């Protein structure tokens, strides 16, 4: 038996269809998968037979749980060359989707984290279902919300992006649609109808989604928007900690307890990433920032330790270093964020 490819790319009824096909790994992305998607997207870009693009996944367990973290950690323990090559390719894919001239639809049915967010957020139509669980949990493994998080998260309402980036909070569809992370809610029972109608009218996926859209229900996050804006609106993590403690509500103290389990370095890196990304004027500039940052972050103690604790040993007891916010200095952050020389800097495909 020959193994099926990890990405299925084909043209069906005017739709360029990309199906993630690595179900045992929850479709976690590796470099070859990113390359396969890039190849298909470039081939379809000027192909008049392709009216729009649809990204979905095989099986029922999740859309995409992220990137190949074990490989990235193993590479980061050395010279990080394989990790940087993966980031370079993945970010080229993210940017290609962001700038793609044809409508892109992502059916985000199930778990969507990290790299899965990176290939779905640039889509014009982003469909959540009752099985959708969205998160950017990178601060819990000593990393930061990359794949465009520095662009998308600060552009969510108020300070919700900062709250999501720092806490790694998991959201269901009612919240993701309310916040605009996803554009439509369809129950899984409606997905085949969506695909069928799209096949008849492949150029206008947003009209098809609008026609089938269902009510995702009340958004639990709505009750906390005022608190999120008030408590996460600072430019230092220390001020956010102090504000949460001073607020003293059950919700604020619960957020503080979560934050205290995260990597202090990652919290500071992520906050600077989002504040910087908010002021950038091009997605490419954001990806260049994240590429420089990512190549350094994967070589830090906290990323290696976070992967050990959460993914390898699974003891969920990381020993962060520095263990306190005060130990992470502005000079440390400046070194992580320093631009790369031009011959090493990330550049988009097109």
The whole-model pTM stands at 0.97
| pLDDT the model gives residue 60 | 82
CA distances from 177 to 37, 127, 312 (A): 26, 9, 33
Q: Phi then psi for 260, rounded to 5 degrees? A: -70, -10
Parse the chain into domains and list their residue ranges: 7-337
Asked if 22 and 61 touch (Cβ cutoff 8 Å), the reply is no
Residue 262's SS3 state is coil
d(CA 154, CA 220): 20
What angle (nearest 5°) sits at the alpha carbon of residue 178, between those of residues 173 and 179? 100
The two tokens of residue 46 are 């000027």
Closest CA to 348 of 287, 274, 258: 287
Residue ranges, the chain, pLDDT below 70: 1-2
- Give me 68's structure tokens: 């190949």
- Positions marked catalytic: 67, 115, 138, 146
**pLDDT tens digits along 28-87:** 999 999 999 999 999 999 999 999 999 999 988 899 999 989 999 999 999 999 999 999
Render pLDDT for 147-181 as a digit per residue (tens, 0 to 9): 999 999 999 999 999 999 999 999 999 999 999 99
What superfamily does domain 7-337 belong to in CATH? 2-enoyl-CoA Hydratase; Chain A, domain 1 (3.90.226.10)
What is the secondary structure of 159-207 as a DSSP string? THHHHHHHH---B-HHHHHHHTSSSEE--GGGHHHHHHHHHHSTT-HHH
Q: What pLDDT is attached to residue 1?
A: 52
Whether the Cβ atoms of residue 182 and residue 105 lie closer than 8 Å to each other:
no
């Amino acid at each position: 038996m020959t193994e099926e490819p990890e990405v299925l790319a084909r043209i069906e009824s005017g739709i360029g269809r990309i199906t993630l096909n690595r179900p045992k790994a929850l479709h976690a992305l590796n470099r070859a998968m990113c390359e396969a998607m890039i190849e298909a997207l470039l081939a379809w870009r000027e192909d008049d037979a392709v009216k729009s693009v649809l990204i979905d996944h095989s099986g029922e367990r999740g859309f995409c749980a992220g990137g190949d973290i074990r490989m990235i950690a193993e590479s980061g323990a050395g010279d990080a060359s394989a990790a940087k090559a993966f980031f370079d390719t993945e970010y080229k894919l993210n940017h290609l989707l962001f700038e793609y001239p044809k409508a892109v639809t992502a059916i985000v049915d199930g778990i969507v984290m990290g790299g899965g967010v990176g290939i779905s957020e640039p889509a014009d139509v982003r469909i959540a279902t009752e099985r959708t669980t969205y998160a950017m949990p990178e601060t819990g493994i000593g990393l930061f919300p990359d794949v465009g998080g520095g662009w998308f998260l600060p552009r969510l309402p108020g300070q919700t992006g900062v709250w999501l980036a720092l806490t790694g909070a998991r959201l269901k569809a009612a919240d993701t649609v309310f916040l605009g992370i996803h554009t439509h809610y369809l129950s899984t029972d409606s997905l085949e109808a969506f695909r069928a109608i799209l096949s008849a009218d492949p150029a206008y996926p947003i009209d098809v989604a609008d026609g089938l859209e269902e009510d995702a229900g009340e958004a639990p996050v709505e009750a906390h928007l005022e608190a999120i804006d008030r408590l996460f609106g600072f430019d230092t993590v220390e001020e956010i900690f102090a504000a949460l403690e001073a607020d003293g509500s059950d919700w604020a103290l619960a957020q503080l307890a979560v934050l205290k389990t995260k990597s202090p370095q990652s919290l500071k890196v992520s906050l600077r990433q989002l504040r910087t990304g908010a002021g950038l004027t091009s997605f490419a500039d954001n990806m260049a920032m994240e590429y420089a940052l990512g190549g350094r972050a994967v070589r830090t103690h906290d990323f290696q330790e976070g992967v050990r604790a959460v993914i390898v040993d699974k003891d969920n007891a990381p020993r962060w270093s520095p263990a306190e916010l005060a130990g992470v200095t502005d000079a440390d952050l400046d070194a992580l964020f320093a631009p790369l020389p031009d011959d090493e800097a990330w550049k988009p495909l097109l």
